[in-house]
Amino acid sequence: MKRIGVLTSGGDSPGMNAAIRAVVRKAIYHDVEVYGIYQGYAGLISGQIKKLEIGDVGDIIHRGGTMLYTARCLEFKTEEGRKQGIEQLNKLGIEGLVVIGGDGSYRGAQKLTELGFPCVGVPGTIDNDIPGTDFTIGFDTALNTVIDAIDKIRDTATSHERTYVIEVMGRHAGDLALWAGLAGGAETILIPEVDHDMNEVVAKLNRGHERGKKHSIIVVAEGVGSGVEIGKKIQETTNFETRVSVLGHIQRGGSPTATDRVLASRLGARAVELLLDGKGGRAVGIQQNQLVDHDIMEILDRKHTVDEKMYNLSQELSI
């Protein structure tokens, strides 16, 4: 392979730039040309493609977002859209593609591979919900952003003796809420993977109050439901003064942590190695601190699960 492409797709995540940098530099190190595809699969279809040199990825390792921009592209869900994308790649003599993103992006990469165009997926999402890897690029940074917010909210919750509901991202996955709740000392953590009983949430708050607890933190993943609604219910049933903070997109931005930069560098470089070894249709990951790769189809067939032991621990520590 003498020429490869790289794109970012779906929701951005801090560390995507570090991954792009690793792809570009690793490829150039092996005398392979790299083309950046802008605006994800939408840019692939419309041909927003530009050759990247070493200097183009200078000064980005510490920046959040993605220098290649990103998009969620409906057109790419059609076979016609994908064929147009392949035509654009063929026109420039690009022979393989690194796709950095979450499960939707992986689906596109799988479909392209099926059409004979080799792709390798690199897990980039703050949700940490890609099977076959212990961590996704951006999760650690988002987690630290959430922890910073919880710590600050805790200060004011203590001063005002209030209950706080903090809604974090995660439509289908509770990892961010679980890790943040555990690290932030939350009294209650609500995640989409585990059913909850509002009566039990309220009973726990009441038990804490009876023990002399004056403030509480409840972390809710957005997939469970609206934090505002949950806050209202709590205020009504307990009569404790309750406030709600929806953290929103601040969780997706910011300078990536060292952990995310290193992870992104390792995974990006590994993806290039796979393409150069002639292996398409793979998804790279990290498991027990070792780089791994799996059949991308197998990853798409698997369902992400939260760490049950960690969830149980969070319950034990927040009695």
Please report, as ranges, the residues that interact with ligand F6P according to CB under 6 A: 11, 102, 125-127, 169-171, 222, 252
Please indicate if the annotation marks 186 as binding a ligand: yes
Please indicate if the annotation marks 103 as binding a ligand: yes
Which C-beta is closer to ligand F6P: that of 83 or that of 171? 171
Please report how close the Cβ of residue 135 comes to ligand F6P at its closest, in angstroms. Answer: 15
- Number of alpha carbons in the 13 Å side-chain half-sphere of residue 307: 14
Torsion of CA 141, 146, 152, 157, to 10 degrees: -170
**Positive or negative CA dihedral for 278, 73, 104, 78?**
negative
Which C-beta is closer to ligand F6P: that of 11 or that of 281? 11
Stated as kind and residue range, the H or E segment containing 26 is helix 16-29
Please indicate if the annotation marks 249 as binding a ligand: yes
Please report how close the Cβ of residue 277 comes to ligand F6P at its closest, in angstroms. Answer: 30
Please indicate if the annotation marks 187 as binding a ligand: yes
Please report how close the Cβ of residue 266 comes to ligand F6P at its closest, in angstroms. Answer: 22
Q: What order of strands is seen across the sheet that includes strand 188-190? A: 188-190, 216-221, 163-168, 242-246
Please indicate if the annotation marks 213 as binding a ligand: yes
To the query of whether residue 197 is one of the catalytic residues in this protein, the response is no
Please report how close the Cβ of residue 300 comes to ligand F6P at its closest, in angstroms. Answer: 15
Which C-beta is closer to ligand F6P: that of 105 or that of 163? 105
Which residue of the set 12, 31, 56, 127 is catalytic?
Answer: 127
Beta bridge pairs of residue 120: 98, 282
Which C-beta is closer to ligand F6P: that of 57 or that of 130? 130
Please indicate if the annotation marks 105 as binding a ligand: yes
- Given the structure tokens 């026109």, which residue do they identify? 91
Q: Annotate 54-89 with DSSP letters as a single string.
A: GGGGTT-TT--S-TT-----SGGGSHHHHHHHHHHH
Q: What is d(CA 268, CA 44) in angstroms, rounded to the nearest whole number?
A: 19
Which C-beta is closer to ligand F6P: that of 162 or that of 304? 304
Please indicate if the annotation marks 194 as binding a ligand: no
Single out the residue of 78, 1, 10, 29 nearest to residue 269, CA to CA.
29
Single out the residue of 91, 96, 68 nearest to residue 3, CA to CA.
96
Please report how close the Cβ of residue 263 comes to ligand F6P at its closest, in angstroms. Answer: 17
Q: What is d(CA 282, CA 271) in angstroms, rounded to the nearest whole number?
A: 8
Beta bridge pairs of residue 119: 97
Phi, psi of 277 (to 5 degrees): -80, 0
> Any idea which residues carry the catalytic annotation?
127
Could you tell me which residues are annotated as the binding site?
A: 11, 21-25, 72-73, 102-105, 125-127, 154, 162, 169-171, 185-187, 211, 213-215, 222, 243, 249-252
Could you tell me which residues are annotated as the binding site for ADP?
A: 21-25, 154, 185-187, 211, 213-215
Could you tell me which residues are annotated as the binding site for substrate?
A: 125-127, 162, 169-171, 222, 243, 249-252
Could you tell me which residues are annotated as the binding site for ATP?
A: 11, 72-73, 102-105
